[in-house]
Amino acid sequence: MKTGMAKIKPIGYAAEILGYREKTIKIRKPTRLTRLLKFPEKVETQRLIILINDAPATLDSIVTDKDEIRIMQMLGGG
């Protein structure tokens, strides 16, 4: 089976709670994003924006190799 790397790029608050700003992860087969991300219990995940290759996604979305995942807070914009 082909093994690829997915890139995870949380920014701002999302980077704080995940503890990194960029990470590459081996993906052996299509995987639910929720399996790749470990959020502290308190985090209101519905207030996060998740993009896979710039397209809107959710924690239930399937990630494959070479995908780029960006995660950020649902800011209110001042």
Partner 1 sequence: MYGWNGKILRVDLTNKKHTVQTYDAGFATTYIGGRGFATKILWEELPKGTDPLGPENKLVIAAGPLTGLPGPSLGKLVIAAKSPLTGGYGDGNIGTIAAVQMRRAGIDAVVIEGKAEKPVYLYVENEQGYLLSADGIWGETTFETEKRLKEAHGKDVGVLTIGPSGENMVKYATVISQEGRAGGRPGMGAVMGSKKLKAVVFKGTKDIPLADAEGYKRLVNEAYEDIKSRDYYGFWIRQGTMATIEWCNENSVLPTYNFREGVFELHRLIDGYALEAMKVKRRGCPYCNMMCGNVVLDSEGRESELDYENVAMLGSNIGLGHLGKVSVLNRMADELGIDTISLGSCIGFAMEATEKGLIKDGIEWGDYEKAKTLTQDIAYRRGELGSLLAEGVKAASQKIGGDSHRWAMHVKGLEISAYDCHMVPGMALTFATSSIGAHHKEAWVIAWEIKTDRAGYTEAKVDKVIEFQRIRGGMFESLVTCRLPWIELGFELEWYPRLLKAASGMEVSLDYMLYTLADRIYALIRAFWVREYAQNWSRQMDYPPARWFEEPITKGPYKGAVLDKTKFDTLLDMYYSKRGWDNRGIPTKTTLEKLGLTEVAQQLSQYVTLTP
Q: Does 18 bind partner 1 (CB under 8 A)?
A: no
Beta bridge partners of 50: 57, 71
**Choice between 16 and 64, CB closer to partner 1:** 16
Q: Write out the binding residues for partner 1, residues 47-76 only, by CB under 8 A.
A: 47, 49, 51, 54, 56, 70, 72-76
Quick one: which segment of 27-35, 44-52, 59-67 binds partner 1 (CB under 8 A)?
44-52
Return the closest-CA partner of residue 59 out of 23, 20, 32, 28. Answer: 32
Give the residue from 70, 20, 22, 21 showing the smallest Cα distance to 48.
70
